[in-house]
Amino acid sequence: MKKEKHISRNEQYNIYVESKIPKTKSFPTLIWAFLVGGLICMIGQGISDGLMALFPNMGQEEASAWVSVILIFIASLLTGLGWYDRIGVFAGAGSIVPITGFSNSITSPAVEFKKEGIIFGLCVKMFTVAGPVIVCGLVISFLTGLIYLIF
Amino acid sequence: MLEMFLTYLKVFLVGGLICMLGQILIIKTKITSSRILVLFVCIGAVLEAAGLYDPLVNFGKAGATVPITGFGRSLAKGAIQGVKEMGFIGAFTGGLTATAAGITCAVVSAFIFGLIFNSKTKKF
């Protein structure tokens, strides 16, 4: 009897939580993710083409490094100003998947946890999201190199 | 002019589709954004190692390199490059060398803007 009551209370709580989770309307977010993601990539292509027109001896590799640096810097600034999160609200993965989302995932906790101190707040929390990305990426990168060496 | 339009259309389509794939995953599996980042980096690296990502870059240009899968691709490509040039030690140095600009810029700008800006209470 008592147990039943507990379960029902848990269920009530789950229903309550479910009702408080912000509902993402699936179809519009898909379109927005597509549009915003595509637009960010087009900006990247624009920067690349612009740089290669301005500096004719710049190679493809160098240009794409500049594209990353510029996009990451802009996204970091927008995150600091609090504007990037507003894009994220309606764009979803459109703002997460491009390289700008990686930058946002580093700057956002850095700004958020500054109040816990420069070293233990800002510097430590900076890698809460980016840490796993870099770890997994580097492990796969090493394995790729290793496999390439063997075969 | 038409060629340029077509290039940008391809960039838009490829970049948009990769992001839409992420959004489909978010809707279907309620996966968190950090796992999306990890997953996409891994997918990019594996595709590059299998030789499947380069054709996509040739077709979609920045549409394939700007999404985080392009970051994974650079990691794998760098490691292969490193092994070609320096042998075994290249497997250690290659990945970070290829992505050094991006990671350093992200960390430095996060540090600077972290110092400058204060977190705002979210109103939405």
DSSP labels, B54-105: HHHHHHHTHHHHSBHHHHHHHHHHHHHHHHHHHTHHHHHHHHHHHHHHHHHH
pLDDT of residue A7: 67
Whether the CB of B43 is below 8 Å from some CB of chain A: the reply is no
In a domain, A69, yes or no: yes
Report d(CA A128, CA A124) in Å as an integer. 8
Q: Which of residues 20-39 of B touch A (CB under 8 A)?
A: 20-27, 33-34, 36-38
Residue B41 amino acid letter: V
In a domain, A30, yes or no: yes
Query: Which range marks the domain in which residue A101 is found?
Result: 25-150
In a domain, A13, yes or no: no
pLDDT of residue A3: 52
Q: Which of B18, B33, B109 sits opposite A107 (nearest CB)?
A: B109
Alpha-carbon distances of A142 from A78, A131, B46, B52, B53, rounded to whole Å: 33, 16, 12, 18, 18
> Over pLDDT 70: what percentage of chain B?
96
Rounded to two decimals, what is the model's pTM? 0.88
Owner of token pair 């990769």: B18
How close A141 comes to chain B (CA, Å)? 5
Residues facing B67 on adjacent strands: A98
- Are B73 and A138 in contact by the 8 Å Cβ rule? The answer is no
Report d(CA B40, CA B53) in Å as an integer. 13
In a domain, A96, yes or no: yes
- Judged on CB neighbours under 10 Å (0-12, 13-18, 19+), A9 is exposed
10 Å Cβ neighbour count for B88?
Answer: 11
Torsion angles phi and psi, residue A98, rounded to 5:
-65, 165
Report d(CA B108, CA B25) in Å as an integer. 31
**For residues B2-11, average pLDDT:** 92
| Span A19-64, pLDDT tens digits | 776 665 678 889 999 999 999 999 999 999 999 999 988 888 899 9
pLDDT of residue A24: 57
**For residues B27-31, average pLDDT:** 86
Q: Which of A41, A105, A111 sits opposite B117 (nearest CB)?
A: A111
Q: What is the Cβ-side half-sphere exposure of residue A99, based on CA atoms within 13 angstroms?
A: 32
DSSP code per residue over A4-38: HHHHHHHHHHHHHHHHHSPPPPHHHHHHHHHHHHH
The mean predicted confidence, pLDDT, of chain B is: 92
A5 pLDDT more than 60: no
Above 0.90 for ipTM, yes or no?
yes
- Which chain B positions have a beta carbon within 8 Å of A39's beta carbon? 12
Two tokens at A5?
Answer: 């009551």
- Are B66 and A98 in contact by the 8 Å Cβ rule? The answer is yes
Q: Where are the domains of chain B?
A: 2-116
Q: Which residue in chain A is spatially nearest to B84 when comparing CA positions? A: A149
Q: Which residue in chain B is spatially nearest to A98 when comparing CA positions? A: B67
- Are B94 and B79 in contact by the 8 Å Cβ rule? The answer is yes
- Which chain A positions have a beta carbon within 8 Å of B72's beta carbon? 137, 140
**For residues B75-79, average pLDDT:** 95
**Residue B40 — pLDDT band, cuts 50, 70, 90?**
very high
In a domain, A4, yes or no: no
Q: State the total domains in chain A.
A: 1
Report d(CA A12, CA B110) in Å as an integer. 41
**Residue B122 — pLDDT band, cuts 50, 70, 90?**
low
Q: Which residue in chain B is spatially nearest to A87 when comparing CA positions? A: B124
Torsion angles phi and psi, residue B67, rounded to 5:
-60, 160
